[in-house]
Amino acid sequence: MADAKKLSPSLFTLIWNVSGFGVAFMLSEFVFDFRITGTAGPEILGGKAFGLAKMTQMGINVPPGFVASTDACKLYYEQNGTLPDAFWRELDDHLDQLELQTGKRLGSTTDPLLVSVRSGAPVSMPGMMDTVLNVGLNDATVEALAQSSGNRHFAFDSYRRLLQMYGEVVLGLNRNLFEVAMSKVMTDTGSSNPSEIPIGAVENLVEIFKLLINNSSDKQFNQDPREQIRNCMIAVFESWNGKRARTYRRNEGISDDIGTAASVVAMVFGNLDQESGTGVCFTRNPSTGEPGLFGEFLQSAQGEDVVSGVRTPDPVSSMAQVLPAAYTHLLEHAETLERYNREMQDIEFTVERGKLFILQTRDGKRTVRAAVKIAVDLVQAGLISVDEALLRINPRDLSQLLLPQLSSNHNFDVVARGLTASPGAAAGYVALDADVAEQRAEAGDPVILVRPDTSPDDIHGFFASNGILTAKGGLTSHAAVVARGMGKPCVVGCSALEVDLDNRSFSFGGVTLKEGALITIDGTSGSVIIGEPELSPASTGAELEVLLKWADAKRRLKIMANADTPIDAVNARRFGAEGIGLCRTEHMFFGEDRLPKMQAMILAVDDERRAAALAELQPFQSQDFSEIFKQIDQNPVIIRLLDPPLHEFMPNRSDVDDPEVIKRIDELVEANPMLGMRGCRLGLMFPEIYRMQVSAIADAAIAVHEWNGRWPQVKIMLPMIGFPSEMERLRNDAETILQARNVPGVQIGMMLELPRACLVVDKFLNSADFFSFGTNDLTQTVLGFSRDDAESRFMGKYMDDGILANNPFESLDVAGVGQLIGIAVNSISRAGRDVSIGACGEHAGDPDSIKFFHDVGLNYVSCSPFRIPIARLAAAQAAIRARTTIKGTGVETNPVEAS
Q: Which residues are catalytic?
A: 478, 840
Give the separation between CA 254 and CA 126, rounded to whole angstroms: 13
Residues 6+ apart with CB under 8 A from 120: 45, 46, 47, 48, 49, 67, 260, 261, 262, 263
Q: Are the C-beta atoms of residues 681 and 675 closer than 8 Å to each other?
A: no
Give the separation between CA 75 and CA 66, rounded to whole angstroms: 18
Give the separation between CA 779 and CA 788, rounded to whole angstroms: 12
The two beta strands, 490-492 and 497-500, are unpaired
3-state secondary structure of 554: helix
Q: Are the C-beta atoms of residues 316 and 295 closer than 8 Å to each other?
A: yes
Give the separation between CA 642 and CA 350, rounded to whole angstroms: 67
C-alpha 757, offset from chain centre: 35
Instruction: Give just the sign of the alpha carbon dihedral 263, 254, 406, 284.
Output: positive
Closest alpha carbon to 55 in 344, 416, 362: 362
**Angle subtended by helix axes 847-856 and 868-887, to nearest 10:** 50
CA contacts within 13 A on the Cβ side of 254: 19
Q: Are the C-beta atoms of residues 42 and 899 closer than 8 Å to each other?
A: yes
Give the separation between CA 464 and CA 436, rounded to whole angstroms: 10
Q: Please name the amino acid found at residue 383.
A: L
Residues 6+ apart with CB under 8 A from 793: none
Angle 245-35-122 (CA atoms, 0-180°, nearest 5)? 20
C-alpha 419, offset from chain centre: 15
Give the separation between CA 659 and CA 657, rounded to whole angstroms: 6
CA contacts within 13 A on the Cβ side of 594: 20
Contacts 24+ apart (CB under 8 A), 816-820: 816/782, 816/783, 817/775, 817/778, 817/779, 817/782, 817/783, 818/852, 818/856, 820/755, 820/758, 820/759, 820/778, 820/782
Closest alpha carbon to 396 in 811, 855, 809, 858: 811
Secondary element (H or E) of residue 187: helix 175-189
Q: Please name the amino acid found at residue 360.
A: Q
Q: Are the C-beta atoms of residues 860 and 770 closer than 8 Å to each other?
A: no
**CB 376: neighbour CB atoms within 10 A?**
22
Secondary element (H or E) of residue 513: strand 511-514
Give the separation between CA 738 and CA 855, rounded to whole angstroms: 36
Secondary element (H or E) of residue 211: helix 199-216
**CB 620: neighbour CB atoms within 10 A?**
17
